[in-house]
A and B are shown apart, each in its own frame.
Chain A
């Protein structure tokens, strides 16, 4: 089938501002948007820049705005989108080139919530044991691949880039509710900041955008409940 692919191109060395460019492609309906981008780069314009790594929805490199919704290019097929496909960089982040965005701010927020096990107790002889029930408590938020589709789909983040964002809160949730971790109080303090969890307006764009199907809004609300419970 033939598709009309529109890509928001931007080369900081050549262009004043991003602009749309159209590409006509003959593709298989089962091709993914990532296949289309690779095809354009190979056959039509080698200067097209985009990130991809595993190509199978695990690494989270190729999140972009596809048909005005954040998705992974490797997880969305042509038959799910139709003949007209638009591809643009993730909203709200500075564009480096074409659909490659500057992620250092995003990862800075990720680091700010201390996304690692904090436990000052002496290491046990074998592993730190945990019951299946305790593990289930944070199972959903272990699935995050840090693709930034959620944070950059959030109107609160667009309005205030300082907002720590859904992805960082998901990462914090993963440790706050881990029975082996002792750093919950520190993380809740960080997230009770004015740019922490309170900026969530329960818009659910993050949940819709998450390629791993994480109920992000639930995680955010559980963290805010924990903050309120700690104070009460």
Chain B
């Protein structure tokens, strides 16, 4: 497949992650519509779903959702910044790496807070 065979650089990887995280967020929105519907439609199932969200696998999914949201948001800002100031395209790789620094800086503490109860802390 051409998309996997072509050797792009940071820009192509940034775009691929943007698409993957975008699809992940869209799937979560579908799930969220469903679980919110169940709050009124079938409260027992809703309670069970919330219990799953609080379990360890549910929390791992929540961390992944947070990662997708954080990446998509940060990269979206990178793209918008270049839209407004095309000169920034010369530094698109540096901005992407700066995004990863923010991603780790914000994401790791966030993941810790989400996963804490799973370890009984």
B and A form one assembly: yes
- CB neighbours (8 Å) of B6 from chain A are 65, 68-69, 91, 153, 155, 205
- Answer yes or no: B105 CB below 8 A from chain A CBs: no
- Per the bound structure, the CA–CA distance linking A203 and B16 in Å amounts to 9
- Assess the B89–A155 pair: CB atoms within 8 A: no
Most chain B CB atoms below 10 A, which of A68, A201, A203: A203
Are B83 and A208 in contact, with the CB atoms below 8 A?
no
Give the residue of B2, B3, B83, B92 whose beta carbon is less than 8 angstroms from that of A204.
B92
Check B82 for interface membership: any CB of A closer than 8 A. Answer: yes
* Interface assignment of A218: CB less than 8 Å from any CB of chain B: yes
Give the size of the chain B interface in residues (CB under 8 angstroms).
Answer: 21
Task: Report if A202 contacts B (CB, 8 A).
Answer: yes
Whether A221 lies near B83 (C-beta < 8 A) is: yes
**Chain A residues with Cβ under 8 A from B83's Cβ?**
221, 224-225
CB of A176, distance to nearest CB on chain B (Å): 13
**Docked pose: A158 CA to B4 CA in angstroms:** 13
Given contacts A69-B7, A91-B2, A205-B6, contact A215 B12 (CB under 8 A): no
Q: List 20 A-B contacts (CB under 8 A).
A: A69-B7, A91-B6, A92-B2, A155-B3, A155-B15, A202-B82, A202-B89, A203-B11, A203-B12, A204-B12, A204-B92, A205-B9, A207-B89, A208-B9, A208-B11, A215-B89, A217-B89, A224-B83, A225-B83, A225-B84
